[in-house]
Amino acid sequence: MDRRTFKLTEGDLTIDTDKNIVFISGEDEITQALERAFTTNAGEWFLNADHGLEYPLIQDKNGLSDENIQMAVIRCALQESRVQEVIEIEIDRDVRSRTVQITFICRVDTGATIRVPFSF
């Protein structure tokens, strides 16, 4: 069954030129669901305290190893039932800005490969 949801742009509903709310489905909807999970701190959403990425585990000054980041990303991604396989997690650190850019690549139940970049 293909899910359909509101398209979000920078966290806000997307409105087209005719002032209609834009909907998405398929791979776009799965990508957006993963983006929302990766940008939600676990425990932040009162309806599901397990939903999201465990930011404290990956932001700890003593625990910010690639292995900790990969495990947290995998746990978060597998919250989405349509994710079948984690293919790759790319981690790019910028020491100057103290940010980490992560690109998560997975295979979903449709057989499609989805690529989701995010940073913290």
Rounded Cα distance between 112 and 92, Å, is 24
- Look at residue 106 and give its three-state secondary structure: strand
User: How many domains would you assign to the chain?
Assistant: 1
pLDDT band at residue 93 under the 50/70/90 scheme:
confident
- Domain holding 79, by residue range, is 4-119
How many CA atoms are closer than 13 Å to the CA of 96, on its beta-carbon side?
0
Residue with the larger pLDDT of the pair 70 and 65: 70
Domain at 95, CATH number: 3.10.450.40
- Look at residue 66 and give its three-state secondary structure: helix
Q: pTM for this one?
A: 0.82
Residue 99 in contact with residue 91, Cβ under 8 Å? no
Is 70 exceeded by the pLDDT of residue 108? yes
Is 60 exceeded by the pLDDT of residue 2? yes
Rounded Cα distance between 10 and 49, Å, is 23
Chain-centroid distance of CA 65 in Å reads: 19
Rounded Cα distance between 98 and 25, Å, is 35
| Per-position DSSP letters for 14-50, written without gaps between them | -B-TTSPBPEEEHHHHHHHHHHHHHTSBTT-STT-TT
Residue 73: closest CA among 83, 111, 48: 83
pLDDT of 61: 63
Query: pLDDT of 10-48, one tens digit each?
Result: 889 999 999 999 999 999 999 999 999 988 899 888 888
Rounded Cα distance between 52 and 59, Å, is 14
